[in-house]
Structure 1
Amino acid sequence: MSPVRTPQTPQSPVPPAAQSGATAHYLRPGRLDRVFGALVGRLARRGVSLMGTAELSVIGRSSGEWRSIPVNPLAFEGADYLVSARGHSQWVRNMRAAGGGRLTLGRKVRHFTAVELTDAEKPAVLRTYLERWGWEVGRFFDGVTATATDEELLAAAPRHPVFRITGER
């Protein structure tokens, strides 16, 4: 069976770090993280969400096949967001190339398009994300918490890509 592709949309601008060739921040998952992620992803496919998790699938930029990972979608001020706590990961790079993907929770599949936020747009979203999931992802934010100043969140913003997602709910 060949992979199903979502419609392509115009890509968001490439972040300055990617344009300049600078090394992008990324914290690679350890073995325990991969095992736990696989379990959470399997549960999401079966309709069980742990604290709001869902399975994100994005078309691979090289393989053309769906690549999946569990994520914590964030509803904030009437919009939905995906935050990469670990940094400029493979799913982030694939999302930039594909311009969208799908979120799965059981039989519910939401196809969406994605636009990457600028660093200046991220602090309020990052604060809300850390308020909700800081206990889980705080270790990836180098001491920045939900109670951090706007300046501290702005300083952390380049290390944590954020996408606003739109599409069917």
Structure 2
Amino acid sequence: MSATPAPSTPPTPPAQHVMRPGWFTNNVLNRTVAWLSRRGISMSGSRVLAVRGRKSGEWRRTPVNPLPHGGAVYLVSARGHVQWTRNMRVAGGGELFHGKRGRGFTAVEVPEKERPEILRAYLKKWKWEVGTFFKGVRPDSTDEEFLAAAPRHPVFRITYTD
């Protein structure tokens, strides 16, 4: 008599990397950058991202640093798989605001194997602001180190619709 194997349960996916902002970042820095951006004052090209919530359908806003690189524009999540990245995957696009002017866009997530060059360019430009979120990866890190970091940092290629 052969034993019937127990039904297998699908493996639990590994927890996605998230570095939640602290009180000061949420209540002071992000609000200050968003306030400045709404008035047309940008810190090194920062913008306010508006994307529809995946559950509520309401517009959610957060400061981001769009990266022009290699003829395309990218949004990189230094803090990992945060709410705006989850919303972006569902919405497939949003708007970037500088002052009162918003530009609509569509977004496609960049595969992990294509991220190292983009992450390197992102750190070259914004290491002073986001370097701490990359856990030891620096602009001069090896391709292998960037490839190892790629799953922790979603990247979206955006295409403006207007």
Q: Do structure 1's residue 129 and structure 2's residue 154 form an aligned pair?
A: no
Percentage identity across paired residues of the two chains? 57
Q: Would the aligned equivalents of 2:92 and 2:108 in 1 still touch at CA under 8 Å?
A: yes
Q: Aligned partners of 1:37, 1:20: CA distance in 2, in Å?
A: 33
Rounded to whole Å, the distance in 1 between the matches of 2:69 and 2:143 is 17
- Using the size of structure 2 for normalisation, the TM-score is 0.90
Q: CA deviation at 1:165?
A: 0.1
Matching of residue 157 in structure 1 with residue 150 in structure 2: yes
Counterpart amino acid of residue 159 in structure 2 = T
Cα offset, 1:107, TM superposition: 2.7
Provide the TM-score with structure 1 as the length reference. 0.87
How big is each residue's C-alpha offset from its partner over 1:89-145, in whole Å with a ceiling of 9 and x where there is no partner?
000000001000000001321100000001101000000000000111000000101
Q: CA deviation at 1:20?
A: 5.5
Runs of 4+ in 1 over 4 A off after TM superposition: none
Is residue 2:69 matched to residue 1:71? Answer: no
Displacement of 1:22 after TM fit?
Answer: 1.9
Partner of 1:27: 19
Q: Closer, same or farther in 2 for the Cα pair 1:51/1:154, shift >3 Å?
A: same
Contact 2:106 2:161 in 1 (8 A): no
Structure 1 residues not aligned, in runs of 5+: 1-18
Tell me how many residue pairs correspond in the alignment: 151
Letter in 2 for 1:87: G
